[in-house]
Amino acid sequence: MAGTALALIGISLCHQYLSGLIHTEFIHSNRGTPMARISFIELPAADLHAAKQFYTKVFAWELTDFGPSYACTMTGDVDTGLQGDMAEASRAPLPVIAVDDLETALAAVTSAGGIIVKPIFGFPGGRRFHFADPNGNELAVLKAD
């Protein structure tokens, strides 16, 4: 339980830091309509230490630790989190999409046929929900504070 709480604090601190760097203004598609973008990708990492060593060695990633089970890059662009708490981790990489209005995004996901995997939940630094797209891919939508 303590590991889960620390992982959520790590996620929230990482997202809180990033919320000051990520611009959630929408990029406009070629049709002139707003287009949200992926701002964060979270990877399950059963062996967090090995994952951190690997990504640092291969890609020179600088990872910030948030408790014993979470670490993330903090570039302010599309960042990557490593979730070492397998009780909280998704089964596959989790793209996280930043939006300005979480409830509107939730309504859009459900009306388009998405399945809500985790309803809206809050954490220090923001709120998010997880959904499955029509192909079963799990994604998250985040509204940073």
Provide the whole-model pTM: 0.74
**What domain range includes position 81?**
2-144
Per-residue confidence band for 30, with pLDDT thresholds at 50, 70 and 90: low
What pLDDT was estimated at residue 17? 47
Which pLDDT band, with edges at 50, 70 and 90, does 24 fall under?
Answer: very low
CA dist 3 and 84 (Å) reads: 9
Domain of 33, CATH number, reads: 3.10.180.10
The pLDDT value given to residue 76: 86
Please tell me which residue, 144 or 124, carries the higher pLDDT value: 144
Give every CB contact of residue 12 below 8 A, 6+ residues apart in sequence: 123, 124, 125, 126
Task: For 125-135, write each residue's pLDDT tens digit.
Answer: 899 999 999 98
- Per residue in 64-120, pLDDT (tens digit) is 999 899 999 999 889 999 999 999 999 899 999 999 999 999 999 999 999 999 999
**What is the DSSP code string of 65-118?**
E-STTEEE---SSSEEEEE--TTT--SS-EEEEE-S-HHHHHHHHHHTT-EEEE
pLDDT of residue 53: 96
Q: What are the tokens at 40? A: 């964060």
Within 92-137, strands assigned E span: 94-98, 115-123, 126-132
Alpha-carbon span 74 to 118, nearest angstrom: 25
Would you tell me how many other CB atoms lie within 10 Å of the CB of residue 69? 23
* Domain count across the chain: 1
83, 43 Cβ separation under 8 angstroms? yes
Tokens for 125, please give them. 């630094």
